[in-house]
Chains A and B, each alone.
Chain A
Amino acid sequence: MEKKVFGRPKSLVDVKSHFCPGCHHGIAHRILAETIDHFGLREKTVGVACVGCAVFLYDYIDVDVAEAPHGRAPAVATGVKRAQPDKFVFTYQGDGDLAAIGTSEVIHAANRGENITVLFVNNTTYGMTGGQMAPTTMLGQKTSTSPYGRDFRKDGYPIKMAELLATLEGTAYSARVATSTPGQIRKAKEAVKKAFEMQMKEMGFSIVEFLSTCPTNWGMKPLDAQKRVLGEMSEYFPLGVYKERKQADFL
Chain B
Amino acid sequence: MDQRVFMKGNEAICVGAIAAGCRFYYGYPITPQNDIPEYMSAHLRAMGGTFLQAESEIATINFILGTSASGKRVMTSSSGPGISLMQEGLSYMAGSELPAVIVNISRSGPGLGGIAPSQGDYFQAVKCGGHGGYRMPVLAPHSVQEMYSLAMLAFDLADKYRNPAMILGDAIVGQMKEPFLQTTYVSTVSPEKPWALTGCEGRPRQHVKSLYLKDNAIEVHNWKLHAKYRRMQEEEVRYEDYHLDDAKIAVVAFGTAARVSKTAIQWARREGIKTGMLRPITLFPFPSSHLDEVARRVDIVLVIEMNTGQMLEDVKASTTCHDKIRFLGKPCAMPTPEEIHRELRKLSGRGE
**Residues of A near any B CB (own CB < 8 A):** 42-46, 48-49, 55, 58, 62-69, 72, 75-84, 87-88, 104-105, 108
Contact = CB atoms under 8 A, between A and B. Distances in A.
Nearest to A85: B50
A64 B95 CA distance: 18
A68 B65 contact: yes
Contacts of A82: 24, 50, 52, 63, 66-67
15 contacts: A43-B201, A49-B209, A66-B65, A66-B96, A66-B208, A66-B209, A80-B66, A80-B67, A82-B24, A82-B50, A82-B66, A84-B199, A87-B199, A88-B199, A104-B56
A39 to B, nearest CB: 13
Most buried by B among A55, A64, A65, A84: A64
Most buried by A among B24, B59, B66: B66
Nearest to B63: A79
Contacts of A67: 92, 96, 207-211
Contacts of A44: 199, 201
**Closest 3 pairs (CB-CB, A-B):** A79-B66, A75-B62, A83-B70
B88 interface: yes
B69 A80 contact: yes
Interface string B22-46: 0010100000000000000000000
Interface residues of B, number: 39
A78 B67 CA distance: 8
Interface in B170-198: 197-198
Contact of A77 (B26, B66, B198, B207): B66
Contacts, number: 133
A69 B92 contact: yes
B62 A55 contact: no
Given A83-B66, A84-B198, A105-B62, A75 B209 contact: no
A75 B64 CA distance: 9
B66 A58 contact: no
B319 to A, nearest CB: 39
B200 A66 contact: no
B68 interface: yes
Contacts of B198: 46, 64, 84, 87
B67 A64 contact: no
B210 A75 contact: no
A45 B205 CA distance: 10
A43 B198 CA distance: 9
Contacts of B59: 72, 75, 78, 104-105, 108
A78 B63 CA distance: 6
B58 A46 contact: no
Contact of B211 (A42, A45, A55, A81): A55
Contacts of A46: 69-70, 197-199
